[in-house]
A and B are shown apart, each in its own frame.
Chain A
């Protein structure tokens, strides 16, 4: 038995290692001789980029933590008008790609957008550039990414025992004190986990920062690769991102620490009932967030789509749609299967530290900007090809470059973290005693996995799969660099049009994506509500 376990661990370890490959390739860039370009970067751009990236991360971090936590607390703990439908509606912004929200807000608030036109014509306020400064971009990121914190904090608040809050009340604590001293500290690990995902997404973003002309660390990586054609410097800069992510993950793990906070009994009693004016004020606040982050942007792209439909729509859209669909479905299936293999409870039991570390590595790709992932893969392929020329006398470049397989590899590496976190969370809840009793009843390893582990992990597997599907559909930079000829996706069409300022026309592909994303989120939400 032990031998089988070790053998399978070797396979799993190899699998995790393969997924982590782009990270190692990127890291190996440090082994190459330094170039003048690096010192050029370090002296000119880097200090400013580091500070603007930090400001962005701090602003977005505070914003999503506060907004996500407060919203989650309100919908879980307080009964107010409209609570039931707002609770799931707040998930919908997941369906809107960050760059879509960015171009909608730019289209509306830009110099030629109707808000500024109105301000100029009726109030005589001179035009201004909303791209300058930090506020507009921070706000955009907060509206796109708050659902990560909302989702995690909401699940945590739902698991909190109502007695905790009742005990607080009976000791004379007012609602704000209960929130601050009891509920938030208990939900801290969940809030930290949501925050971690947000920060990694912000670090890796390409679409929003380029639409806002905002320079971040990622911009420097693009510039090293795009402007200076230095794959080494791009990779060296990117490896710093990996280090930052590693620290973020470490701190998040530490924050969880000895937290054994959860109880599984979920009660439907609301801690507070907000009646009258208070109730309606809370409704207005939550509804306002929903409007700003989902309903109004959706309405705007709907209006634009109708206005430019005849101009933009053509048969090519069936191709965009097919490319997006095929890539999303195949990547999601692949990622989910691998994540499940990595997260099976037997992995946890195995005491191999190396395996645990490899699995951790395999999820780090989430912090790599898609383009860096792509560059890392191309770089890797190039080296493999050199080896193949040396031994077999022919290059394999033509097989791998521009192949669907390479793009799928990039998706797997990039989005493994999302599926893995979700599946491993459900696997962690499987107590060892289930496996032990199944074995005592004579179940084989395969039967144990099939009949016991998989059914118990299914909610986590499905949830992870849905989130991955939305993310793959939205993915832009890696697709842009690695897509096979003729495989333009909806995301690429949105970006091509919006980067030229053709916001109205970009609305059509964006609308299709948002509608599909929203459908996926509704299914996700249905699954989620069945869990409780």
Chain B
């Protein structure tokens, strides 16, 4: 279970979030809706430990990750996975190397098995040796999801992951990703500005309005 409390964020002296609270039950998929500049991505990045805030605490499965605006655990040690808007696949690595990046400590054999099973999960078998630029946008986003799931994170953050895809592919991928996350029962937070997408994807939806979170 994730709980974020009393989060306050400001950009260049204008405050975007004030006393923001959020809790997500284990295995739930939560969608965070908001207009651009509403601070939804910043909230997500604070949870990941990538961005600072004036105030705010994060507790994940009983462990304090951030306390009163100070990160007590570094991003690389939080066991949180993230899927970025533009996928952020490493262009110089193959699909196999990308997906296995987070599980490099495993033996070669277990890595191969794990990557194969993840590729099966995202319905893209046999593309291990391809480079990201040889894949379509939708395929890249699936690979990026597989990479984030490889080391079984306690929480998965998705920062507008579907926004650079065209509509027809997007609807399909939203459905697919939801079923994958449900199958793996990964606690997840999706950030989006698209209400329809949020409804199709999440179990619960919250909207940022007037610097606070309102649960629908």
Name A residues whose Cβ lies closer than 8 Å to a Cβ of B.
161, 163-164, 166-174, 181-182, 185-186, 188, 260-261, 269
Residues of B within 8 A of A260 (CB): 91, 133
Cβ-defined contact, A166 with B75, below 8 A: yes
Beta-carbon nearest neighbor of A166 in chain B: B50
Residues of A within 8 A of B148 (CB): 170-171
Residues of A within 8 A of B76 (CB): 168-174
Q: A173-B101, A181-B101 are in contact. Are A163 and B77 (CB under 8 A)?
A: no
Beta-carbon nearest neighbor of A185 in chain B: B92
Residues of B within 8 A of A173 (CB): 76, 101-102
In Å, the complex CA distance between A167 and B76 comes to: 9
Q: A163-B84, A168-B101 are in contact. Are A186 and B92 (CB under 8 A)?
A: yes
**Shortest distance from the beta carbon of A264 to any chain B beta carbon, whole Å:** 13
* Residue interface bits B69-93, CB-to-A below 8 A is 1, else 0: 0000011111111101010111110
**Shortest distance from the beta carbon of A276 to any chain B beta carbon, whole Å:** 14
In Å, the complex CA distance between A170 and B51 comes to: 13
* Residue interface bits B116-153, CB-to-A below 8 A is 1, else 0: 00000000000000000100000000000001101100
Residues of B within 8 A of A182 (CB): 90
Beta-carbon nearest neighbor of B102 in chain A: A171
Name B residues whose Cβ lies closer than 8 Å to a Cβ of A.
48, 50-51, 74-82, 84, 86, 88-92, 101-102, 133, 147-148, 150-151
Cβ-defined contact, A169 with B50, below 8 A: yes
Q: A163-B84, A163-B86, A260-B133 are in contact. Are A170 and B48 (CB under 8 A)?
A: yes
Q: A166-B50, A186-B92 are in contact. Are A172 and B147 (CB under 8 A)?
A: no
**Shortest distance from the beta carbon of A278 to any chain B beta carbon, whole Å:** 13
In Å, the complex CA distance between A181 and B74 comes to: 19
In Å, the complex CA distance between A172 and B75 comes to: 8
In Å, the complex CA distance between A172 and B76 comes to: 4
**Shortest distance from the beta carbon of B168 to any chain A beta carbon, whole Å:** 26
In Å, the complex CA distance between A171 and B150 comes to: 9
In Å, the complex CA distance between A170 and B44 comes to: 13
Q: Which of B82, B89, B92 contacts A166 (CB 8 A)?
A: B82
Residues of A within 8 A of B91 (CB): 186, 260-261
Residues of A within 8 A of B77 (CB): 172
Residues of A within 8 A of B50 (CB): 166, 169-170
Closest 5 CB pairs of A and B: A171-B102, A163-B88, A167-B88, A170-B82, A169-B75
Q: Which of A164, A261, A269 contacts B88 (CB 8 A)?
A: A164
**Shortest distance from the beta carbon of B208 to any chain A beta carbon, whole Å:** 22
Cβ-defined contact, B151 with A172, below 8 A: yes
Q: Which of B81, B86, B90, B92 contacts A170 (CB 8 A)?
A: B81
**Shortest distance from the beta carbon of A124 to any chain B beta carbon, whole Å:** 51
In Å, the complex CA distance between A126 and B33 comes to: 76
Residues of A within 8 A of B89 (CB): 167
Q: A185-B92, A186-B91 are in contact. Are A171 and B48 (CB under 8 A)?
A: no
In Å, the complex CA distance between A166 and B75 comes to: 8
In Å, the complex CA distance between A163 and B84 comes to: 7
Beta-carbon nearest neighbor of A273 in chain B: B52
**Shortest distance from the beta carbon of B46 to any chain A beta carbon, whole Å:** 13
Residues of A within 8 A of B102 (CB): 171-173
In Å, the complex CA distance between A161 and B79 comes to: 22
Residues of A within 8 A of B82 (CB): 166-167, 170
Cβ-defined contact, B133 with A167, below 8 A: no
Q: Which of A167, A169, A269 contacts B90 (CB 8 A)?
A: A167
Cβ-defined contact, A161 with B101, below 8 A: no
Residues of B within 8 A of A166 (CB): 48, 50, 75, 82, 84, 88
Residues of B within 8 A of A261 (CB): 91-92
